[in-house]
Structure 1
Amino acid sequence: MAIAIEENVLHVTRPNDTKENRALHGLTRTLIHNMVVGVTEGYKKELDVNGVGYRVAKEGNKLVMNLGFSHQVIMEEVPGITIEVPGPNKIIINGCDKQQVGQFAAEVREKRPPEPYKGKGIKYTDEVIRRKAGKTGAKK
């Protein structure tokens, strides 16, 4: 891919129209766009923690989570990522790298994914959990 700057505008051009070059053209343009947006505005993921006794706190540069295990789950803040905990049930992850923000949010969510029966666990704020009916009594 050829990248040129003309009058404060980045232009991405491809050498020919083969299928691989067309795919790489869109990929390159999108990666550059994500970098520009990340530096100017930044990326943010919000997570909610639902469940009795589930809570999160920030101690220094560590995220400390009580998720119903016999121990606390502690995650270190990654360079380039900032973690905010405005309340005991809310986590906000900020950063300029879209991939890194999404990956860290997925790793936090992985510690206790939401379950479909009571909805307990860590979920994205805009995520919808499909609920299931529990067991019913024995039928005769």
Structure 2
Amino acid sequence: MAPGAEAFEGEARAAFAGVAQRLGLAGPGGGEGDRYLAVVTYAGSGVTYKAVLGLWQGDVEIHVCRRTAVTECKVGIEGLAVSAGVVDRRGRVSFDARSLRRLRRSLAGQVRYVALVHPLVSGDPDEALSLMRAAGAREWRRPAVG
């Protein structure tokens, strides 16, 4: 079983501290956590990063989310980093969070990927969405407002 939600929030804050400041990301914020997931968010320049801890599975993954007027797109950080060409292949970052030490290592590696992909996903929305789609992002239409 993974560390608890409180420990996760502190570790996510520590892992994101320098990168959030350099990239101008606001956070940490909460997310749609429940008894199975803990979620910490950082956002800026039109991009939201959701660090998600599976409390029962013992895994952690950062999701990259981008909204437009009509769609919302979400993709895992490793797939995005590979598609963007900032890393050469999958398997270079850990997702294991079955102990505090493993959680720290996994968050640190994934946050490094955030720093690498942020310039590519925070710019032109069409280019960002194209890159995210190439990485296998899930995309759905946002409800019409009005």
Greater relative contact order, per chain length (Cα 8 Å cut-off, separation 6+) = 2
Whose helix fraction is larger, Structure 1's or Structure 2's? 2
TM-score normalized by the length of structure 1: 0.29
TM-score normalized by the length of structure 2: 0.28
Work out which of the two has the higher radius of gyration on C-alpha atoms and give 1 or 2: 1
Whose strand fraction is larger, Structure 1's or Structure 2's? 1
